[in-house]
Structure 1
């Protein structure tokens, strides 16, 4: 027998983490004011089905003990043995059809055989079809006096409002980590398991408030009645706390060289991306609690949370880890002067030269020379007049060419891939595709290399290219060109410059 089956709660006192709900349901059993229909909702492993069974057992118990089933009367013993026919438990995931629901409603019309009430427990009720919900609706609104319904679901939003409004709803929250840790300690003592305290804390934290998940992890990692932290960390693909501490300390000191060495070590190990981000975020959470108001830790937390959402969009998990670590290791203030300073100097230096040089050289001097000689000299000299006219246009054409050339080739230091991504924030699909690309910039030509054909086609679309080129022109000046190709082995050395 598995641990979560063996230690399933049998009364309200054994149910952990749901004190408010236990108090309400115990009181309703004591006073005899039991509703005709209940709706239990919450994440998996929080006690919804167990509470439904305890409630059904208590309703038909002939000798309640402070709101708890007595476990000694005939009804309670039959219920524990699985032979109490007045409690029907139905899995909606395997009984979605209308016919199944109609047969259930027909049996509801018959009086109970053993207990006071006939009780129907429908688990995962959101899996019922629309027709099944409609068939249940009338009976749920006005059930027979001897019938009770207890519905349980993990996705309450999929249950029609007409069903929800006809039930008493109870929301089961995640079990706190401290409560779950104490529960695991109690079970290991009863089972005689030699468990390390840190291992139990890791399991309680990784279970995310689910008791069933925690007991499954405990059973899975127990070898010869021993539970070690290393075994749990390896099973969950978590990072050792010493490495996490080293990473955060390097980020705090902006030690880029050490971060690059850590990235190389991570590439040689089996790292699960979500487990890596979970370990970092848990560690940062603890540091934020210890040092409330620390801007650095708040910034690190924002960076890792933002990139955590991109795990499902970027297929190369190590690339996402590199980008995140190098971005967090870059001082926040460096990006401001490097981006703004060259733009201001160019606008201040180029504009006065472009305004002052062409006006005195082209307009006053050359135009005055051409009209003076023709009226004074003979007609053969008139043939010379078109010559200066031919000379002046190219000189006039030279000046605008200078105006066009200067913004076309901005210094490479002005280009920022991060600014381009920010400018495409209103086009999330293109932005996510660009995040997975490696790039090289030469003058006003931006070359993008993709490992995924889907991302390549997303950016190589003509409308997308026009959009990106327009953003490049408006951000960095000049007339930009965009080149896209597929490269299965891209150069990732650019990553440290992405977020500068």
Structure 2
């Protein structure tokens, strides 16, 4: 073929042409000048960053007839022979297809022979991580102590797959991704040397699509030049790379900020009709907001921007948006990217993400308002309980006294005092029908409290239940004394319970609150009193025969009756 791809035509022939790897090229040049060449090198880094090119330049430099020099002359017979591949002493091996033990044994056997045309025999093993374990073991000893006329240069994109015993015998150089600015400068040089017209924005789009690889950038440039009509435009670069133009991204971000879901979906539809990939679109939009975040927080670091050019439209959008919004947008888009990987409906996920971004943050939280209010109510209860505990420190003597007291109601003498007389009055007039009527409508009463935005107060009733009722009052037992006291002190809350029950049952009831421990004691005392008076009725009911039998077996002192 008469035509060669750009990345082959413009392959670096000198260290100065290796773009973006100055930390490596300078080290190798100093080693050449000082004649401190190692017997083995390991070049690692992403694809298209110059590993193999640097290896061939080093092979020419050590064998150049004008050595020692920092650069190969590319004019002597050795340099020209290595460049065109006619000198057999520089051997390039693809470890991906020659990864067996036999191939490495062949190298080990031939390494002892002196070079025929140049000073050093150089083995360049590309993708060396593809070698098998046996091949690495076969290479190990030769790599550690090769003959003086042999240099090994290993290149890989995955150094973590190489045994440490191999790495420790090499001088390692890590090639880094090439910056977009360096790629653009290289492409500008190529376009000017080739006499081709271009738009600067087009080169920038190609450089960012290359993701730090010079070879990828030149391949995309070659493709874009074939697509263009004697002038490389921004539209040509967008078409070839599949990227989204910044003008369209600015319009999209503006529509998102204005909460205009219809305009956002219309822009998405237009992009998809142009053949844009939803996954690529999501990536471009994430990078757009990433660059906007950097621009707002560190405007002086313009070189760190990956996707955008700081034009007037971009600055206008950046002034309107808040940092919290940017965090939300990036999170939503990132979640969408993850979901699209495992779905055949990427477009739907993208549409849902854009609509979600158009919704105000308040609307997204509104769905959790009941849970939030319930949590707030619980926090308020805990705060009040903590305040009460702090205001009533327990003395050591009081604690022992409380444990030794025979009657439990005395334990609450420092806090809530139960209305014993009223409770006994209710018990004396209580009937089974009254308490069953209240319990049957108790759940409805709680629902009405929640509907009237009294969730924090209603939370007090989570561990409460009615236990006895007469015609005009009922006893409400609380599991914890602090909840009982808080409910009793809230007159509006007590009135609300009475009024709701009146609506449901058509009867007015007085609510009498009592802690569980106090209730058990009052109930037992009431039973004893009834027995003393010769009565077989307790709260409107006959005495349970099981309770009577238990009293005979263990006695009243050891028996505690619970509902």
TM over 0.5: yes
Tell whether 2:107 aligns with 1:104: yes
Q: Does 1:251 align with 2:251?
A: no
Given the alignment of the two structures, is residue 315 of structure 1 paired with residue 344 of structure 2, yes or no? yes
Q: Could you tell me which of 14, 19, 22 is aligned with 1:16?
A: 19
The aligned counterpart of 1:417 is none
**What's the counterpart of residue 72 of structure 2?**
69
CA offset digits 1:175-211 (Å, max 9, x no partner): 1111111111111122232222221111111111111
TM-superposed deviation, 1:286: 3.8
1:398 matched to 2:403: no
Aligned residues: 383
Q: Distance in 1 between matches of 2:190 and 2:59?
A: 26
RMSD: 3.3
**Is 1:281–2:323 an aligned residue pair?**
no
What's the CA shift string for 1:195-246, capped at 9, x where partnerless? 2222111111111111111111111121354322222212222223222111
Matched, 1:214 2:246: no
Is the CA contact 2:92–2:126 (under 8 Å) kept in the aligned structure 1?
Answer: yes
Q: Give the Å deviation of 1:66.
A: 4.0
TM-score (norm 2): 0.61
When Rg is computed on C-alpha atoms for both structures, the one with the higher figure is 2
**Residue 163 of structure 1: which of 138, 157, 166 is its match?**
166
Deviations 1:126-176 (A, max 9, x none): 111111111111111122222111000011111111111111111111111
- Verify the 8 A CA contact 1:46 1:211 in the aligned structure 2: yes
**Range moving further from structure 2, 115-124 or 70-79:** 70-79
CA contact (8 A) 1:366 1:392 kept: no
> Partners in 2 of 1:3 and 1:130 — Cα distance?
37
Question: Do residues 229 (structure 1) and 258 (structure 2) align?
Answer: no
Q: Aligned equivalents of 2:351 and 2:43: distance in 1?
A: 43
**Separation in 1, partners of 2:288, 2:37:** 45
Is it true that 1:329 corresponds to 2:371 in the alignment? no
- Evaluate the alpha carbon distance shift between residue 338 and residue 317 of structure 1 in structure 2; reply closer, same or farther with a 3 A threshold: closer
Give the Å deviation of 1:76: 1.3
Q: Provide the C-alpha distance between the structure 2 equivalents of 1:338 and 1:94, rounded to a whole number of angstroms.
A: 58
Residues 398 and 55 (structure 1), Cα distance of their counterparts in 2 relative to 1, 3 Å cut: same
Looking at structure 1, the residues matched to 204 and 376 of structure 2 have their Cα atoms a distance apart, in angstroms, of: 59
> Do the aligned partners of residues 145 and 347 (structure 1) sit closer, same or farther apart at CA in structure 2, a change above 3 Å counting?
closer
Q: Is the 8 A contact 2:261 2:354 kept in 1?
A: no
The aligned runs of 1:66-215 (5 Å cut-off) are 66-215=69-218
Decide whether the 8 Å contact of 1:3 with 1:219 is kept in 2. Answer: yes
Q: Which residue of 2 aligns with 1:489?
A: none
Give TM-score scaled by structure 1 length: 0.69
Separation of aligned partners in 1, 2:137 and 2:445: 73
Alignment counterpart, residue 329 of structure 2, candidates 263, 282, 300 = 300
Q: Secondary structure at the match of 1:120?
A: strand
Gaps of 5+ in 2: 299-321, 382-422, 454-563
Inter-CA distance 347–196: structure 2 relative to 1 (3 Å threshold): closer
Question: Using CA pairs below 8 Å that are at least 6 residues apart, which structure has the higher relative contact order?
Answer: 1
- Give the CA deviation at 1:13: 1.5
Equivalent residue of 1:149, what SS? strand
1:236 touches 1:275 (CA, 8 Å); kept in 2?
no
Q: How far off its partner does 1:270 sit?
A: 2.7
Task: Name stretches of at least 5 consecutive residues in structure 1 with no aligned partner.
Answer: 353-362, 371-387, 412-500
Check whether the contact 2:35–2:68 (CA below 8 A) recurs between aligned residues: no
Rounded Cα–Cα distance in structure 2 between residues aligned with 1:13 and 1:397: 90
